[in-house]
Structure 1
Amino acid sequence: MNEWLERPATLRGAAFALLAANIGIVCTGGLVRLTGSGLGCPTWPRCTDESYVTTSEMGYHGVIEFGNRTLTFVLSVFAVVALAAAWRQRARSRAALRGAVWVLAGIAAQGVLGGITVRMALNPWTVAAHFLLSIALIAVAFLFWYRTREQPPRWTAPRAMRTAGIVITAVSAAVLVLGTVVTGSGPHSGDTKASRTGFDPEAMSQLHADAVFVLVGLSIAVWFGLRALGAPLRVTRAAAVLVLVELSQGVVGFVQYFAGLPWYVVILHMLGACLVWTATLNLLLAMSPPRSQAGSDERDHSLASTA
C-alpha cells in the first residue's frame, strides 16, 4: 500500500478523480433541483426525523436527494486517498499536500452548507452559495491536480497579458454568480415550497448573457494577443480551448432558454459552466510565471518605483 501511495501516478490519478467528482456532483445537484427533489430528504443530517436514509414514503424524490448526499462520501474517499498519497510524497511537493488538505476541508464545508440549505427550505441565496462553494472547490481541486502534473517550462507572459488573464478569470466568476441569480429567479426551485429571489427572470437572463458576451470578447482578444506575441503552442491552445468551450456553452444556453428550460439541457449547461471555469483557470495558470519569478517581478517593480 505504501509503495502504491508513493507513486506520482497515484497522486495524479486521485487528484484528477477529485476534480471530475467535484464537477460531477454539481451536475447531480442540478438533477436534484430540476426534478423537484430538493426536499426529498426534508431535514439534515438525517433524511427524515426518524431515519438517516431515505424511506419508501419519500418516493423517488427521497432516492434522488439521498443519492446526491451519498456522493459526498465518494468525494471524501477520493480526498482521503489523495491526502494519503500527498503526505507520502510531501518531500516532492508541499504544495500538493496543502491542496489535498484544502480539498478535504472544502468537501466538509460543502456538506455542512448543503445541510443548511435544506434546513432553510432551499432559500435561493443559500442554494446559490452552495453552488458557488462548489465552484471554489473545483478551483482548488483543479490547482491541486495541476500541481501533480509534470510541468513544462513556463512561459512568462508580458504583465499586460497576465493582467488580461486575471480580468478574464474575474469576469468568468461574475458570469457564474449571475448564473446563480438567474437560477434563483427561474422556475426550477427544487421544491414547490421554495422561495424565489423576486427578480425578473428575463432581465436577469439578459444581464447574464451580456456578461457572457464580454467574457467571450475578452477571451478572443487574448487569443489573438498571444498569437501576435508568439506564445508557446500550449498557451495559445489553452486560450483557443477556452474560446471554444465558451462558444459551445453559449449555444447550450440559448437552446435551454428558447426551449423552455428542459432539465437535460439545463444539466448540460451546468456541466458547461464547470468546463468554462476550468478552462479559464487553465489559461490563467498557463500565463502565470513561476512563483520565484513572480516574486522577482514584484521586487523589481518595487525597486523601480522607489528609484
Structure 2
Amino acid sequence: MNRFHKVATLTFWATLGLVVAGGLVRATGAGLGCPDWPTCWGCWLPPTELSDIPSQLDKSGEPYYLDRLDRKQYLSKFDSTKMWIEYMNRVLGVLIGIFIIATFIASFPLRKSNPRLFYGSLVALLMVIFQGWLGSIVVQTELMPGMITLHMLLAMILLSLLISLQAWSSPEAKGSILSGTRILYGLIILQVILGTQVREKVDEFTKEPEGVARENWLDHAGWVDHIHRPLSLLVLGLSVWIFWTARKRSKKDLLPTWILGCVLGQILLGIILAYAGLPPWSQTAHLVLGAGLLCLVYRAGWHPVAST
C-alpha cells in the first residue's frame, strides 16, 4: 500500500505538471507548433533546420510538407519556438502515460485486498489512452472547437481520480467533509467548460486576426463570456461561505483558506485577462491556478484530512 501511495502521489503531481505545460501551449498559441501527429513536421525528432523537413514545391514555388492526412503544411508557418513548446508537451504526455502504467502495475497486487485502487488505476489508464488519442484529434482537426473543451474537461476529471487514488491509499486520518464543497466543485467544472470555450472563441482571432485589436478579442466571445464572468461571483460567494462555516468549526483547517485564496486569485487574473489584452503569462496562470483550485475543492469535498 505504501508503495502504491508513493507512485500515485508522484503520478498526480506529474499530471498537474502536464496541465501547466498545456497552459503554456495554449497561452503561446503553440498548439499547432507541430502541425501533424504523431510526427512533428514529418520528423520523429523536431527538425533543427527547414532543410530537415521532407518538403516539395507547389505550383507557385512555395515549399510545403504533405502530412499523413494529405494536408499541405506550408513551411512559411514554421516557428521553432512554438514547435519545441508543443513537442515538449507531447514528451511530457508520454511520461505521464508511463507514470499511469506504473500506477496500474503497482495496484495489481492490491486487486483483491483493495479493488477500488485496482479499478481506479485501470480507469485512469484508459482515460490517458483516450486523452492521447483525443490530443491527436485536436491537432489533426487544427484545434477544432469543442475538442479542446473535452480535452481539458477530461484532464480535470483525471486529476480528480488521481486524488482519489492517492487518498484511498493514504495513511492520514480522514476528516469531515466541508459543507458546500461538492456544489462548489460542480460550479468550478462548469467554469472550466465555459472558460475553455471562451478561449476557443479567442483562438479564432489568433488564427485570423481580421484587423481586431488583441484587447478587443474578448468582446467577440459572446454569451459564453457573459456567463463565465458573473458565475465567478457565485463561486466567490460560496467560497466565502465555506470559509466562514469552516472557521467556526476549526481554525486549524487551512484548506478553506487556500480555496478562498485561489478563488480570489482567479478573479484577479480574470480581470487582468479582460482588461490587459490577454497577456500570455496570465493565461497560463489562470489555467494552472484553476486546476489547483479544482484539486483543493475535490479533496475537501471527497477526501478531507483531519486537522492536527
Q: Normalising TM by the smaller chain, what interval?
A: 0.7 to 0.9
Residue 281 of structure 1 aligns to a residue whose secondary structure is: helix
How far is 1:199 from its partner? 8.1
Residue number in structure 2 paired with 1:268: 285
1:220 is the counterpart of 2:240: yes
AA aligned to 1:130 is H
Q: Which whole-Å CA distance do the structure 2 matches of 1:189 and 1:131 have between them?
A: 20
Change (3 A) 1:93 1:262: same
Residue number in structure 2 paired with 1:19: 12
Identity of aligned residues (%): 22
Is there any run of 5+ residues in structure 2 with no aligned partner, and where?
51-77, 210-216
1:155 is the counterpart of 2:176: yes
1:54 is the counterpart of 2:71: no
Residue 215 of structure 1 aligns to a residue whose secondary structure is: helix
AA aligned to 1:184 is E
Residue number in structure 2 paired with 1:179: 195
How far is 1:34 from its partner? 2.6
Q: Which whole-Å CA distance do the structure 2 matches of 1:142 and 1:115 have between them?
A: 26
Residue 137 of structure 1 aligns to a residue whose secondary structure is: helix
Residue 53 of structure 1 aligns to a residue whose secondary structure is: coil
Q: Which whole-Å CA distance do the structure 1 matches of 2:246 and 2:165 have between them?
A: 26
1:238 is the counterpart of 2:259: no
Are 2:185 and 2:298, in contact at CA under 8 Å, matched by a contact in 1? yes
Aligned to 1:36, which of 15, 24, 29?
Answer: 29
Residue number in structure 2 paired with 1:295: none
Q: Which whole-Å CA distance do the structure 1 matches of 2:288 and 2:128 have between them?
A: 19
How far is 1:75 from its partner? 0.3
Residue number in structure 1 paired with 2:66: none
Q: Which whole-Å CA distance do the structure 2 matches of 1:102 and 1:35 have between them?
A: 32
Number of positions where the alignment pairs a residue of Structure 1 with one of Structure 2: 269
How far is 1:120 from its partner? 0.8
Q: Which moved more, 1:86-95 or 1:25-34?
A: 86-95
How far is 1:91 from its partner? 4.8
Q: Which whole-Å CA distance do the structure 1 matches of 2:242 and 2:257 have between them?
A: 9
More helix, by proportion: 1
Question: C-alpha offsets along residues 195-218 of structure 1, whole Å, 9 cap, x if unaligned?
Answer: xx9983375434212111101111
AA aligned to 1:210 is P
AA aligned to 1:112 is W
Is there any run of 5+ residues in structure 1 with no aligned partner, and where?
1-6, 289-307
Are 1:122 and 1:189, in contact at CA under 8 Å, matched by a contact in 2? no
Are 1:30 and 1:270, in contact at CA under 8 Å, matched by a contact in 2? yes
Question: C-alpha offsets along residues 23-70 of structure 1, whole Å, 9 cap, x if unaligned?
Answer: 22122122223323222222222323x433322334333222222111
TM-score (norm 2): 0.77
